[in-house]
Structure formats: structure tokens, C-alpha cells
Amino acid sequence: MHNVEEQLVFKRGLKIKNRVIMAPMTTKMSFFDGEITSDEIKYYTLRSGEVGGVITAAANVSENGKGWKGELGVYDDKFIPGLSRLSAAIKKNGTKAILQIFHAGRMTDSTIINGEMPVSASNISSERPNSETPRPLSSLEILDILDDFKQATIRAIKAGFDGVEIHGANTYLIQQFFSPHSNRREDEWGGSVEKRFKFINDLVEVVTDVVDDSEVDNFIVAIDSRLKNMKIRE
């Protein structure tokens, strides 16, 4: 049993000063376009410094991946200055700053994404009340979204974060590719469990490759994949 105050040392040398990490929690405090607000900076400033690390609220990597109003954006270079203020606020006293990177897929609606139809693996709506039917992503669009995660990681590095966490959890795009309920594709991205896993697999590869090719040492790549809501039928 480890004491929570004990330093956490990873195989490649990364050190986290204790074993308390603040979980990602959406606050809906950003501006309409995803730009960070001073209130949000204040919120994180008040909570960092003591904990070993802070994982930010989900930040959308593509414009059509925004899930709700007030969400943090990382889909454009214009966010780098604001995100730099955020990482600096978190990193005081050695706390590690980890940006959560995210795509909502079908778990959004057209009022949030400028009147466009939500996108997903297939045209299957979620079983929640009033959910819109998404349109299936083309193969090229899937590659674009993988690239959006890559660009978001580059922006996180430029903005001074110590890591990114891929939001692979409960109901959002990554899970939508894995679940046979939302993924009815018959191409290389759907069908068998291996094919439905391809999106997660390629995504982790794209993100870890760009980190390996960068100048940063000990950059954290985490993936959050709470499986409890997945509808696994095989």
C-alpha cells in the first residue's frame, strides 16, 4: 500500500509529486467559441498546487466534436495563448497539467455545432430522449478526426501542458466506434470487435507518435476508458 503523499515515479522517469489527481470535470465556463475565460483560470488556480496533477475538463479537438455550450476548445491554433494561461495556472508548485482531448460524436445536437448534423460511426441515434440521428463519417473524415487529435496534442505541447488525456469514455465518439450499438459499419472501421477497436488503436498510435517525434520529455499520454456504459453484445 502506498501513502498518497508518496511520489509516483514512472518507468521512463516521469515523476508526479503525490498520488492525488483531480479528475476531469466539465465546468461549462468557456466562451461561446471555446476560448478560456478568466473565471475558468481562477477555478483551476484555486484547485492546483497541492495535488499531483489536474486533468482539465474535456476540450473538443474538432469544431463538430463540441458536446455542450461552454466547452473548452482545442480545435484551432487560436486557442494556444489561452491554453498556455491555463497550463501555467495549473503548474504552480509542481502540479502536472493534463489537457483532456475529446470528440462528442453523436452526443451533441445541431444547435451546439452551428446547425450541422452530428457525426458518428453510423447513423444510429443514442437511446437518450430527443437525441438527433447522426450522419456516418466518411473514411476521409475519420482520418481527419484522427488528425484533429494529433493537432490538439501538438497544441497541448505548445501551450506547455505536461500531458493529454484521450477521453475514451462513456458514450462519446471513441466509445461510439467501439460499441456495436452505435457502430454498424461494414468497412475497416466496423464489424468484428477488432475492427471496432481500430479507431481507438489508431488514435492512440497517432497521439503517441506525435509525442515521440516532439521535443518534450516525459509527456503524459493517458486514455480514459470507463467501459461500464458500453453495450457489448458479443
Ligand X SMILES: Cc1cc2nc3c(=O)[nH]c(=O)nc-3n(C[C@H](O)[C@H](O)[C@H](O)COP(=O)(O)O)c2cc1C
Residues that bind ligand X (CB under 6 A): 23-26, 57-58, 100, 167, 169, 224
CB of 217 to ligand X, least distance (A): 26
The burial of 114, by beta-carbon neighbours within 10 Å (0-12 exposed, 13-18 middle, 19 or more buried), is given as exposed
CB of 225 to ligand X, least distance (A): 10
Q: Describe the chain by its helix, strand, coil percentages, rounded to 5.
A: 30, 15, 50
* Cβ closest to ligand X, residue 16 vs residue 174: 174
Count Cα atoms within 13 angstroms, Cβ side, for 230.
Answer: 21
CB of 68 to ligand X, least distance (A): 10
142 CA to centre of own chain:
16
Output the CA torsion 157→137→232→58 (10° steps): 30
* Cβ closest to ligand X, residue 117 vs residue 223: 223
Cell output for 117? 448534423
* Cβ closest to ligand X, residue 62 vs residue 122: 62
* Cβ closest to ligand X, residue 26 vs residue 84: 26
CB of 70 to ligand X, least distance (A): 11
CB of 178 to ligand X, least distance (A): 16
CB of 113 to ligand X, least distance (A): 17
Q: How does DSSP assign 191-230, residue by residue?
A: SSHHHHHHHHHHHHHHHHHHHHTSS-SS-EEEEE---TT-
* Cβ closest to ligand X, residue 98 vs residue 190: 98
Cell output for 21? 489527481
Cross-strand partners of 165: 100, 222
* Cβ closest to ligand X, residue 28 vs residue 184: 28
* Cβ closest to ligand X, residue 15 vs residue 226: 226
CB 61 within 8 A of CB 145: yes
Strands 72-73, 8-9: pairing is: unpaired
CB of 170 to ligand X, least distance (A): 8
CB 184 within 8 A of CB 120: no
